[in-house]
């Protein structure tokens, strides 16, 4: 099962504009899971905005449309839908980091480069 996760992570990295060490310091991390999932564990510093409320939630943050945004969920599906919604609303730097484990690894790798 770990191999599947690692292969999914590799596919994710190859399909996103961000490489491991290229998450900008000013990136906004958004957890698009449910409040109960968020309470069980999250990426440090992430903001909870469930995927089905992403438009309202992101507006409340008052971000510039070119702010780097990194989304994650349980496996990448909800983050993908949220990414599509944000892009349709003009946000230009939105990345789907996949699931929680992949997002935590991405965050740790980006911090290691600092």
Q: Determine the distance from the C-alpha atom of residue 75 to the mean position of all C-alpha atoms in its chain, rounded to a whole number.
A: 11
Among 9, 73, 82, 97, which one carries the catalytic annotation?
73
pLDDT at position 88: 98
10-residue mean pLDDT series, the chain (114 residues): 52 48 88 98 97 97 97 97 98 97 92 72
Strand partners, 47: 30
Query: Does the annotation mark 8 as catalytic?
Result: no
Kindly give the pairing relationship between strand 69-73 and strand 28-31.
parallel
Q: Does domain 2-112 have CATH number 3.40.250.10?
A: yes
CB neighbourhood size of 11 (10 A): 12
Alpha helices (H) in 1-114, listed in sequence order: 2-15, 35-40, 54-61, 77-88, 100-112
| Beta-carbon contacts of residue 5 (< 8 Å; ≥ 6 apart) | 101, 102
- Sequence spans of domains, the chain: 2-112
């Amino acid at each position: 099962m770990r191999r599947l996760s690692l292969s999914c992570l590799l596919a994710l990295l190859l399909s996103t504009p961000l490489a491991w060490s290229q998450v900008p310091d000013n990136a906004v991390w958004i957890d698009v899971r449910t409040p109960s999932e968020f309470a069980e564990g999250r990426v440090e510093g992430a903001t909870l905005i469930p995927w089905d409320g992403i438009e309202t939630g992101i507006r409340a943050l008052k971000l510039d449309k070119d702010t780097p945004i990194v989304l994650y969920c349980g496996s990448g599906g909800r983050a993908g839908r949220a990414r599509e919604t944000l892009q349709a609303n003009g946000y230009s730097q939105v990345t789907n980091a996949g699931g929680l484990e992949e997002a935590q690894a991405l965050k740790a790798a980006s911090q290691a480069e600092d």
